Amino acid sequence: MRTDTVLVPLLAAASLILSGCDDDWLVVEDAPDGPGNLEAYYYAHGVDLHWRTGSGWDGEGFRVYGKRESDPEYFFIAEVTSCIDGGCVYRDVNVVPRVTYEYYVSAFDADTGLETATPEAVAVYVPDPVPPAIPEVVVAVALDNSAYIHWENDAAHEADFSVYRVYLADADGDQFLGETDSPGFIDMLAENGQTVTYFITSVDDQGHESGASALARCTPRPDYTGEVIYSYRDRPDLSGFRFQESEHNEAVISGDSGDRHFRIESDADGVRIAPGPRVRIHPETRWTSSLKCGPASDVDCVSWETAPVTGYSSEQMSLVTGHTYMLRVPGDDGEVRFGAIRASVSGYDQEGSEVVVFDWAYQTQPGNPGMSVARGTPGR
């Protein structure tokens, strides 16, 4: 916030020094070229001053003076000794609400003691620091080596809304990740198998920041779209599948492999998922519109968010397109992990071999059943 300028008296522009030797002579010392274009704004519990160096500026420092509007005299606040590309800045945080402050700046020559002030002062009113609303319904969606955080957009409906800020909650200290004016943010630094926890704040156009939202956490995991697998009856060499931690490892393997997590089998009764050695599949299935509801998903997207931790079976299950299935599998280290698959197509290729196209997700963190979404929880 900036208000009208106020006239102030100029400091001395020159000094006359008289010195005598054999002949009296007069030396005129020029005062430094004064600063210009002084502006001041209130933002986030402080007043920011900006000004430009004069055209004849020769590296002199600047002195900042200020006072409350009700004070009779200005007082020295600070000295600024560095400017960049002819622009100088200073932030005054020693201000209180509901008070108007006045400022001016002078160029100061340390060798002569001369100063040249801006011809006018600027006045700034400091308002009450009323923060905006705290973002609600924060959700973190686990993606492949990334995470998508979204929340309700209520704060953006306020006339003074500016941005949302996204933070990573960390035991060693919260980390600022970025800002956005939309109710969604993708953290591309998140890593598979590492649980990440986020909170959101909202900020108004005067820099007032709300309190922190509830925490939302998720654990990124590998996923793949459009995996193609065959029926064991038609192509046993391409009928097995093993969840992989890296996209560089082949997930479709032989249906006879002892490392398979499942294979696809079929007969006159239909297509089935047959769990592999030490693998269990949950008897419950859910119709879903997508394996995950991440960024750019439809507003009515439906996904199965968390794998059950008990109730798994070694029995085969009929494969129904559009349904998500949860599996409990041994990882490469023998630890229990969870995976999800969703078939989008079940049919035949041009040679008449039965084929299934599906999406899959695999949680690389042992024992973690989280596949997609975790809503915010209190804690910040």
Q: In tens digits, what is the pLDDT along the chain, a chain of 380 residues?
A: 445 555 454 444 444 444 444 555 555 567 888 999 999 999 999 999 999 998 888 889 999 999 999 999 999 999 999 899 899 999 999 999 999 999 999 999 988 889 999 989 999 999 999 899 999 999 998 888 889 999 999 999 999 999 999 999 987 889 999 999 989 898 999 999 999 999 999 999 999 999 999 999 999 988 898 999 999 999 999 999 999 988 788 999 999 999 999 999 999 899 999 999 999 999 999 999 999 887 777 888 899 989 999 999 999 999 999 999 999 999 989 899 999 999 999 988 888 899 999 999 999 999 999 876 666 666 55
Copy the structure tokens of residue 326. Answer: 């949860």
Three-state DSSP at 78 gives strand
**Nearest CA-CA partner of 279 in 233, 242, 232:** 242
Which CATH superfamily includes the segment(s) 139-218? Immunoglobulins (2.60.40.10)
Copy the structure tokens of residue 173. Answer: 């200290």
Cα–Cα distance list, 255 to 93, 237, 245, 279, 303 (Å): 69, 6, 20, 14, 28
Topology (CATH level 3) of domain 5-126? Immunoglobulin-like (2.60.40)
pTM of the model as a whole: 0.71
Three-state DSSP at 163 gives strand
Give, for 36, the enclosing helix (H) or strand (E). Answer: strand 36-43
**Nearest CA-CA partner of 319 in 272, 371, 260:** 272
**Nearest CA-CA partner of 217 in 140, 153, 158, 160:** 140
Report the distance separating Cα 249 and Cα 199, nearest Å: 34
Residue 65 near residue 106 (C-beta atoms within 8 A): yes
| AA letter at 109 | D
